Structure 1
Amino acid sequence: MRTNILTAIMLALAILVGSCNAPSDNALYREWRLQKYNCIATSSYGLTQVNEKFDYVLQFDNTGVFSCTTDCNTISGKFEKNKSALKFSGISFTELACDDMMVERSIVFNLPCIKSYEITDDAILVLKDDKGHILMELISYDLPDESLCGKWRLEKYNSIVTNSNELTDVNEESGAQAEMAVHGFSGKC
């Protein structure tokens, strides 16, 4: 009976984690929304806030390819990473005429200058040059639904031992529960 409960908990946790839309093992491989950037129109390293009505999304995949969609154009290329080092190469972009291309031009200008990255709070990506100046700050675009996070008590499960589609009640004394966090889970019987 204890094995059935543990199996049911593990299946429930797998479903819950899948519904949390958790990122892959490497936190860099996902979509990031540009929040602040080093504007090429200014001479300082101060960051400029992106207008909230625009959606600039930088996506890294585990094959070493990146893409960035803007409100008008697309930027893409390759990237290499090693621990906290990050290098962009083969950068190409579409050149549609847009009303305001300052953010896009700044992204294209800054990408080759990026030499390192840092992820803080599992949700903020900071891209820096070789002197440690922040060139871009992005926020995770695909954060999981935090309403699923917390402690959950298992009440019923589908037993894999029987052929029935009926749910089996969990013995209240078992204390079977799962705890969901933004990027993981734990369970106990």
Structure 2
Amino acid sequence: MIVNRSSRTLLMIVSLAMLAGCASGSRHDASHGVDEPYFARDMPGLPGGWDPMMSRVDNPILEARRLGNPPPALVRQALLAQHEDWVGTPYRLGGTSQHGVDCSALVQNVFAETFQLNLPRTTGEQVREGSPVARDELAPGDLVFFRPPGAYRHVGIFIGDGRFLHASSSRGVMISRLDNSYWRRYYWQARRALEPTNLAQRLLVDVDA
């Protein structure tokens, strides 16, 4: 009886790993030099954009709030702080931690840790969250989805200035440009789980706690 239960558990784990996967893309996203191998903090655009000095304060989100940043900039600052925590984490299909993570697990972790918002585990479920948003109306915190060749779909988090945070299968957690030739070709749709104002409010509640 114990053996059968163990076998069923192992089968379930393998099945979940397959369902949770993202677009493989390893033969594609690594071959386009337009993509950025690492975020260089050259992010103009939104008020209160990323400041390298923010890494030196005890709580960059609290500091951003003190500076009076509007909700989109505050959300963006929080996402960039998450990038600092996750950058360098390798891609692993079915992975959910900084030892290895896939695209949908990264999105799930970032939203849970930053905004206390529980998103589903897989891209197939996440693409049904919230409401659709046009590409030219993207705001920080929106989910961006891609449909490359193959069985898997890919998801990332828009951070502003035409860039998104994601777990690349070839480079791990990184920030890429939406106008990169590969990502532009396979862009699928975007969803807004919550408005930037609501995301910022959740962020501030966490800071005040």
TM-score, with structure 1 as normaliser: 0.25
Structure with greater strand share of residues: 1
Higher alpha-carbon Rg: 1
Identify which of structures 1 and 2 has the higher relative contact order when contacts are C-alpha pairs closer than 8 Å and 6+ apart. 2
TM-score, with structure 2 as normaliser: 0.23
Structure with greater helix share of residues: 2
